[in-house]
Amino acid sequence: MAQELLKKGWLQSVIMQIAPHIYLITDIFVNLYLLVEDDGLTLIDTGISKDGRKVLNQIAQLSRAPQDLKRVLLTHCDRDHVGGVESLKVTTGAHVYANPIEAQAMAEGHSSREMHRDTLTGRLISLVSSFMKFPPASADEVLHDGMVLPILGGLRVLATPGHTPGHMSFYASSLGVLFSGDSIVSQNGLLQISARANTWDEAQARESARTEAALGARIVCAGHGPVVMNAGTKFPKF
């Protein structure tokens, strides 16, 4: 039953294992992923400011201590992905990893790209964003395309710009799991490219999605929408 609810996106604010060493923390705004290994924990994205406490609660459910969180990997600098960075750094001492463009924006407390203002939706998003600041935070380590982090047997860093200028994704080849952030989102069991008003560059977003599709991932863990299993046939058609 729980797996069926996960597929439909109905479970909120719980932690659930989706693959060996990989747990999903669901949230109203964004999905967070906790990578659990004997030598420490890694969190992909942090949610909004108040979600730091929720992350710590879920870590406790796994009988781990806050100090077991060693790394925070950021896909991009939007409030719903980096809002909890500062509180988690203070509480856990975790090192934060981010692309240089996204890291600079995070340090200044704003998104790394402006919204398109040539549509009503873009203007509304821009207006709402101006009232939704987040605590500035600093990155400890810089992410670059092609890096392989010592996580999950080798976690490859992918430059996937488009949604934002410095968007990054992560691929665990040993498990066939792609963490796509907002470069790809899932809806109704299918994968969709970041597009429209909240996308910095749609052409780059499409190219990034094409690169991700070529990886042959079995599982796609997107920033929004349910986790997509058997993902090979569910990528957009190019």
CB atoms within 10 A of CB 91: 16
Could you list the pLDDT tens digit for every one of the 238 residues in the chain?
A: 334 433 444 344 578 999 999 999 976 679 999 999 999 999 999 999 888 999 999 999 999 999 999 999 999 999 999 999 999 999 999 999 999 999 999 999 998 987 655 555 555 555 455 555 788 999 999 999 999 999 999 999 999 999 999 999 999 999 999 999 999 999 988 999 988 878 999 999 999 999 999 999 999 999 999 999 999 999 988 7
Distance CA(79)–CA(84), nearest Å, equals 9
The answer to whether 198 and 79 have CB atoms below 8 angstroms apart is no
| Domain ranges, ordered by start, for the chain | 2-233
Q: What is the CATH architecture of 2-233?
A: 4-Layer Sandwich (3.60)
Torsion (CA) 138, 101, 224, 124 in degrees, nearest 10: 100
The token duo for 87 is 């509180």
**How much is the pLDDT for 83?**
94
CB atoms within 10 A of CB 38: 6
Torsion (CA) 215, 183, 77, 75 in degrees, nearest 10: -20
Q: What is the pTM of this model?
A: 0.89
